[in-house]
A and B are shown apart, each in its own frame.
Chain A
Amino acid sequence: EPEVTQTPSHQVTQMGQEVILRCVPISNHLYFYWYRQILGQKVEFLVSFYNNEISEKSEIFDDQFSVERPDGSNFTLKIRSTKLEDSAMYFCASRRDSQNTIYFGEGSWLTVV
Chain B
Amino acid sequence: AQKVTQAQTEISVVEKEDVTLDCVYETRDTTYYLFWYKQPPSGELVFLIRRNSFDEQNEISGRYSWNFQKSTSSFNFTITASQVVDSAVYFCALSEADFGNEKLTFGTGTRLTIIP
Contact = CB atoms under 8 A, between A and B. Distances in A.
Q: Do A and B bind each other?
A: yes
Interface string A20-48: 00000000000101010000011111001
Nearest to A109: B43
Interface stretch (A63-71, A76-84, A100-108): A100-108
Taking chain B's interface residues, is the majority helix, strand, or loop, or is none over half, making it mixed? loop
Interface size classification for chain A = 20 to 34
Interface in B74-113: 91, 93, 95, 97, 99-109
B7 interface: no
Nearest to A106: B44
Interface of A: 31, 33, 35, 41-45, 48, 50, 55-56, 89, 91, 95, 98, 101-107, 109
Interface of B: 35, 37, 42-45, 47, 50, 91, 93, 95, 97, 99-109
